[in-house]
Chain A
């Protein structure tokens, strides 16, 4: 008789769920409420199977070993939400072009303008910003723009670099823009043109980790949309500190429409532009 096929446990107990979510929160700042139990359990069970662990206990021990970064990264990848599409909440791109960039360039005529998007997910937002600037900012020929995308999920960072998207992600991209910036790969797949892919840097970092975030400095504009809503108060405050550190004095921050930095920390100055609200790292120190 042959050996039984490897099968993991059939379910995750409440105690195991609690242990995992506590561990995951400490490592990523992301907290799963009990309402997310089904979502989390399903991914834990899949990871146990994939890791070849006989049960939760061995899998969890393996996960917590500092040496096994690959397992932890794959769990982070599976637990993070990567739903995104081009030109999402595009009124903020209008705000960038109509209000923020004119203010920035009025102050600095030579240095490149640096824009950070995080979480960059599969790259939709970073490419959207690039296209939006090329299409809507008349002064683009006069300035160098650097766009960087950052995400905690290594898999989506690779997706973003490849720049291949389906119809769903491109639902708000008209045929003119598709023809101008994408190559049709077939079967409803489109790849962002090489010029744009080469222009945008994508990299891995955890917004709650000071050591990882200290590499990100001197950005003029940060888009950090629909991320802080997943964080508890402490993680939000830590993320806010790291965003502050990544902005140059006077730099601007855009959050998602339902998010408010004023509820998290007083260190940013809230601003109201005609197209959107934003936050600014003050230019001067406050005493």
Chain B
């Protein structure tokens, strides 16, 4: 294909550059311009022969058009990048694998440890429950023992008081018996004196009248004392 077909083909009168450079008219020969594709052969073979015999020419446009188009430019590969990338990926894979193995082992170990701790905790919980039950029982036993102790103490106080009061009554009774004996003795003295006084009065001429009067006074005093003692005794007995 030529690049000058169509409406955009420059004309010779308006494009002096092409005229000067090639010496050809605007209708033939290869032309180039700024911004165009690389120059390709577009003119006829006779024209090229006439103008540039010693100048090396590009390939014949006709024959070039019939050849296979040149292969596309292939970029140069950079193997070091792929090597580095592959190495990194391999390292990452190896690290991940090691990490996964480590995590798996750690998880397994923690699971085992957790099961062991749970077993220990269950044992401790059972032991705690048992101890708590024992503590409750001991507390109840202690409370019962304390109650029994208090009752025993109260009973000791009560018995001690009863014993002391019994001893008090015993002493009072002993004093009472002593008082009764004293009163009885006084009454006996009174009665004996009165008997003797009656005997004396029945045979008054045989006794000194003054002595009989004195004796009668002493008998009266003894009887009075005996009566007072008896009254006091009766009062005490009545009060008891």
Q: Do A and B bind each other?
A: no
